[in-house]
Structure 1
Amino acid sequence: MSGPAEEVATGCRVLAAHGHSDLVWGHLSRRDPDGRGLWLKAAGYGYQEITPERVVHIDRDGQLLGGEGRVHLEYPIHAEIMAARPDVGAVVHSHAEAAVTFAATGLPLLPLGHEGTLFWPPDIARFTATGDLIHTRELGERLAEALGDRNAVLLHQHGLVTVGPDVPTAVMTAIFLEKACRMQLAAAATGASCTWSDEEEALTKRERCYGPRQLADAWAHLVRITS
């Protein structure tokens, strides 16, 4: 991946292959490396359809700086999180069904498997101010506040947002979050009591299972099988 548009396009196709498609809705962004706004999946296309030509370059106000596509109404998700978090280089928003369903239960997201350790402890951040679209700067700012310094937030009656220093991290965090939600829903459906890692073990696993080398290898695998 040689440029921001290529990175966003690849990330979108990986998301499509791993449970995040919802027709033409959902989006991925990447901070511009030169500090000029951000690169965002264009509106009107599904994740699996995104090529570098279907990625737009916009400023914080959603004005086009480059590209010819339409800008998603929810661009403030990306613009306001990046404004509030200088450490964030990429943002994912999707309507992954397991995440939407799990958020509606109000249950804490627990580390039944490795994936949950990325989000607990403490429990995953939640945005409950509205289930509507994040279509204004004010709502984007409130979402960024709910996210805080975390790597993910569940938007109740809506979807998920994950962030990372780069596209691979943000995308894989979204994949792990959807899987953690899906696993816990499946466990709850059995009606049996469940066990999970305690705080000490969860924090140890977070570092051991998802260190830089492991994430780099996992991302390379996802790109290979998606291309």
Structure 2
Amino acid sequence: MTPADEVSIGCRVLAAHGNADLIWGHLSIRDPGGAGVWLKAAGYGMEEITPDRVVLIDRDGTRLRGDGRVHLEYPIHTEIMAARPDVGAVVHSHAESAVAFAATGLPLRPVGHEGTLFWPPDIARFTTTGDLIRDRALGSAVAEAIGDRNALLLHRHGLVTAGPDVPTAVLTAIFLEKACRLQLQAAAAADTYDHSDEAEALAKRARCYAPAQLDAAWSYLVRRLASSA
């Protein structure tokens, strides 16, 4: 499977699971040959992405391959990958639950399984601006804010997830959207609500999201995508 194929599948899975926002949001994968980053082309919804709607760019956003336009926020992807050799794929979306949850200022707690991926410690946050991450300086600031973590809330904006590959980065975005949604629902229903303590959260993280479990979950989502085509 080519990098463009992987980005295409990942974008359509994201769109089907709470991360679509008209033509905005994007997924990238590091070029295996070191040429740059393969990124969803601008101007299309995630559900519309096919391999020919994926472009290869360098760190400056120059298009090296493909015919599509380059997203203005490409520095989110290029700067995280420049700072993190362990990262092979990055997601940025405007998942509504993540945007709403960030606005509450609440620490993210593991109300269900999903939250254990992000706490403890509390999820990383970027509060410098809610505007677009449109240049290398802002992209570098986002990379610094996420540090060595798997996810970041961009306040007044959306989410960013990073993983070694497309399945991990995409699943992490889906789980973060759900974790935020569950906590919003719990907080709306009661002033206090139950969640895992640190020991249980770490144990659940290891059991629920081991590589074999993530592989099985990804295969399921890809099968669902194929059956709905």
TM-score (norm 2): 0.98
Q: Provide the secondary structure at the position in 2 that maps to 1:56.
A: strand
Aligned to 1:108: 107
Tell me the amino acid that sits aligned with residue 163 of structure 2: G
Aligned to 2:141: 142
CA deviation map 1:89-131 (0-9, x unaligned): 0000000000000000000000011000000000000000000
In 2, Cα distance between the equivalents of 1:31 and 1:204? Answer: 31
In 1, Cα distance between the equivalents of 2:151 and 2:87? Answer: 11
Aligned to 1:218: 217
Aligned to 2:168: 169
Q: Provide the secondary structure at the position in 1 that maps to 2:9.
A: helix
In 2, Cα distance between the equivalents of 1:25 and 1:183? Answer: 24
Q: Provide the secondary structure at the position in 2 that maps to 1:157.
A: coil
In 2, Cα distance between the equivalents of 1:29 and 1:171? Answer: 10
The within-5 A match list for 1:178-197 is 178-197=177-196
Q: Across the two proteins, how many residue pairs are aligned to each other?
A: 226
Q: Provide the secondary structure at the position in 2 that maps to 1:169.
A: helix
Tell me the amino acid that sits aligned with residue 48 of structure 1: E
The offset of 1:191, in angstroms, is 2.0
Unaligned runs of 5+ in 1: none
Aligned to 1:91: 90
Aligned to 1:66: 65
In 2, Cα distance between the equivalents of 1:19 and 1:112? Answer: 18
Tell me the amino acid that sits aligned with residue 48 of structure 2: E
Tell me the amino acid that sits aligned with residue 66 of structure 1: R
Aligned to 1:81: 80
TM-score (norm 1): 0.99
In 2, Cα distance between the equivalents of 1:162 and 1:143? Answer: 11
Aligned to 2:155: 156
1:198 aligns with 2:197: yes
In 1, Cα distance between the equivalents of 2:69 and 2:24? Answer: 13
Q: Provide the secondary structure at the position in 2 that maps to 1:182.
A: helix
In 2, Cα distance between the equivalents of 1:113 and 1:9? Answer: 29
Aligned to 2:207: 208
Identical-pair percentage: 74
In 2, Cα distance between the equivalents of 1:71 and 1:98? Answer: 26
In 2, Cα distance between the equivalents of 1:8 and 1:205? Answer: 29
CA deviation map 1:133-153 (0-9, x unaligned): 000000000000000000000
Tell me the amino acid that sits aligned with residue 217 of structure 1: A
> Which portions of structure 1, spanning 4 or more consecutive aligned residues, are displaced by more than 2 angstroms?
none
Tell me the amino acid that sits aligned with residue 127 of structure 1: F
In 1, Cα distance between the equivalents of 2:189 and 2:102? Answer: 19
In 1, Cα distance between the equivalents of 2:179 and 2:87? Answer: 22
Shifted more, 110-119 versus 188-197: the winner is: 188-197
Alpha-carbon RMSD across the aligned residues, in angstroms, is 0.5
In 1, Cα distance between the equivalents of 2:182 and 2:198? Answer: 19
In 1, Cα distance between the equivalents of 2:156 and 2:17? Answer: 21
Unaligned runs of 5+ in 2: none
In 2, Cα distance between the equivalents of 1:56 and 1:71? Answer: 7
In 1, Cα distance between the equivalents of 2:123 and 2:168? Answer: 17
